[in-house]
């Protein structure tokens, strides 16, 4: 399989139309009962809580938290920057999540939601561009991480480990903060070291 490609939004300029198209891709690749994703043979469950007629998981993957302090927009040097109304810098078009947090809609993240399924499939096929590790989070839950890295692309998909038959999709998003890149690499290396023990 070649390098990951973003969702084609040519001809779309309205953020609502872009989000609609990206959500259709998310539904078809991750929320389709007839074509459920599997992670190493385990069913990938996708909770479908709805916000503004779209899956909350889609919104998490297609938006950015308000508390993120960005010195530079992640979409700089990307075609999506010409379509964005400065969402990362000043509030413009936000979505309220079911837990009450406000997130800014992000075209840059939205056009990459199709990568979630592609990365799962790449991992299942043993693609060396996908790293796998597990880590217990602060809530004592085991998280599973898939990180795809190739040239300028760095994307992470996160699951909650529920049983030997099922995982739950938590989110997926591009990794662009240097600190996050370092933290994820450190977690991966620590996981590998623990496997060797």
Q: What is the pLDDT of residues 1-36, one digit of tens each?
A: 688 999 999 998 888 999 999 999 999 999 888 888
Q: Regarding predicted confidence, which is higher, 28 or 138?
A: 28
Q: What is the pLDDT of residues 170-186, one digit of tens each?
A: 999 999 888 899 999 99
Phi, psi of 65 (to 5 degrees): -65, 145
- The confidence score (pLDDT) of residue 6 equals 94
Contacts of 162 (CB under 8 A, 6+ apart): 45, 168
- The confidence score (pLDDT) of residue 134 equals 96
Residue 125 has pLDDT above 60, yes or no: yes
Token duo for residue 93: 């078009």
Q: Concatenate the DSSP letters of all residues of 33-54 into one string.
A: GGG--EETTEEEE----EETTE
Q: Regarding predicted confidence, which is higher, 15 or 160?
A: 160
- The confidence score (pLDDT) of residue 142 equals 93
Percent of the chain with pLDDT over 90: 62
Distance CA 81, CA 126 (A): 33
Q: What is the pLDDT of residues 31-88, one digit of tens each?
A: 888 888 999 999 999 998 999 999 999 999 999 886 655 555 665 555 555 556 655 5
């Amino acid at each position: 399989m070649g390098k990951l490609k973003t969702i084609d939004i040519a001809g779309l300029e309205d953020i609502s139309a872009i989000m609609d198209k990206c959500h259709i891709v998310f539904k078809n690749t991750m929320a389709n009962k007839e074509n459920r994703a599997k992670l190493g043979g385990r069913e990938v469950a996708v909770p479908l809580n709805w916000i503004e007629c779209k899956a909350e998981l889609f919104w998490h993957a297609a938006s950015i938290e308000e508390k993120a302090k960005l010195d530079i927009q992640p979409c700089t040097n990307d075609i999506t920057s010409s379509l964005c109304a400065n969402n990362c810098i000043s509030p413009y078009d936000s979505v309220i999540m079911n837990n009450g947090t406000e997130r800014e809609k992000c075209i840059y993240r939205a056009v990459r939601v199709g990568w979630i399924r592609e990365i799962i499939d790449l991992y299942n096929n043993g693609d060396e561009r996908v790293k796998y590790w597990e880590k217990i989070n602060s809530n004592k839950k085991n998280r599973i991480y898939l990180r795809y890295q190739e040239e300028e692309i760095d994307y992470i998909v996160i699951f909650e480990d529920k049983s030997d038959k099922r995982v739950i999709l938590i989110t997926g998003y591009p990794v662009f903060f240097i600190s996050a890149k370092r933290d994820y690499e450190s977690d991966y290396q620590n996981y590998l070291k623990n496997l060797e023990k």
